[in-house]
Amino acid sequence: MAPAPHQAALGLLLLALLAPAAGRAQAEADPYAAGLACFEQLDFRCAIELLSAAALTESGREHGQRIDIQRKLAEAHLALGQRPEALSRFEHLLELAPDYALEPGVSPKIRACLEEARRRIKRRTVSASAAGGPAARRFLLGLAGGVELLTGRDRELLEPGLALELQLAYRLGGPWRLAGGLRYASHDLVGGSDSLHLGGGWIGAGAELELGAAVLGANAGLGGGYFGIAAQEGRGALLLVLHAYADWRAAVWLRLGLDCAPGLVVELEQGETSFTASIAGRAAIAF
């Protein structure tokens, strides 16, 4: 028995009312599946709305779904002419899968957008690396400690002694450096109980050569100092300093190395000279 016309009309009305509610329930239950349906129907605004909601719950989804959400969002934004948004989605995709590649036959427009996103990520990575890398750290503060040796007549009068130096360098650009130091040395007198002390400072310039984690460098400088035996009148001196060093970069901010520093001490009153050479270990902090 055929339904009455008014019954058929009522059934159609109920179907029309329930269909949107069912669609909303499906979207709320799984916005990913509903968003894919909109995407397949080329309803890109609907796809963006639903897949964006799905992206908010990415952490609970399979890796493949998370990638697919970002790709579909990128393509939907491109279809609507929203390239910045598409680039952002492709960047998120590449964070999830750095080696992601499109299958053959994909639109050149989509492929170009993905590759631009890849280049943007690479530029940011390089910039971030440079910002915290050795090249960005212009100052180097170091402390060297070792033994100072003497030559000639001084060798007959003084024992080899302790040499300490606080060093500071500033990177000008390229290999060039400004450098300076505060130096202290102490030598016991041969056959005596007294010691000769020298304190002074110098300033100069130099250059470095980087070979991976190894750094080779040299500085030349001019300075002044004061030397003498404790409780006796001291003398002023002119210091001519040469530093040659080899460092190993243990960390971006830390260098460890060996410092060799031949030098000439010229006594100011009578012009007497002494040649010295020190060998020291050193540690330096870059900042």
Q: Which of 40-44, 119-123, 129-133: highest mean pLDDT?
A: 40-44
pLDDT of residue 127: 64
Q: Can you list the domains of the chain with their CATH numbers?
A: 19-132 (1.25.40.10), 135-286 (2.40.160.20)
pLDDT of residue 60: 75
Query: Residue 128: pLDDT band by 50, 70, 90 thresholds?
Result: low
- Residue 47 C-beta-side C-alpha neighbours within 13 Å: 22
pLDDT of residue 132: 60
Amino acid at 59: S
d(CA 110, CA 106): 7
pLDDT in tens, 244-274: 999 999 988 999 999 999 999 999 988 899 9
Query: Residue 196: pLDDT band by 50, 70, 90 thresholds?
Result: very high
- Cβ proximity of 149 and 277 under 8 Å: yes
Q: How far is CA 259 from CA 50, 103, 107, 111, 216, in A?
A: 65, 57, 61, 54, 10
pLDDT of residue 238: 96
pLDDT of residue 200: 96
Q: Is the per-residue pLDDT at 160 higher than 60? A: yes
Sequential DSSP letters for 117-149:
HHHHHHHHHHHHHHHHSGGG--EEEEEEEEEEE
- Residue 89 C-beta-side C-alpha neighbours within 13 Å: 25
Q: Does the model's pTM come out above 0.85?
A: no
Listed in sequence order, the DSSP H helices in 133-222 are 152-157
Angle at 27 between CA 24 and CA 32, to 5 degrees: 170
pLDDT of residue 4: 52
Percent of the chain with pLDDT over 70: 86
Query: Residue 80: pLDDT band by 50, 70, 90 thresholds?
Result: very high
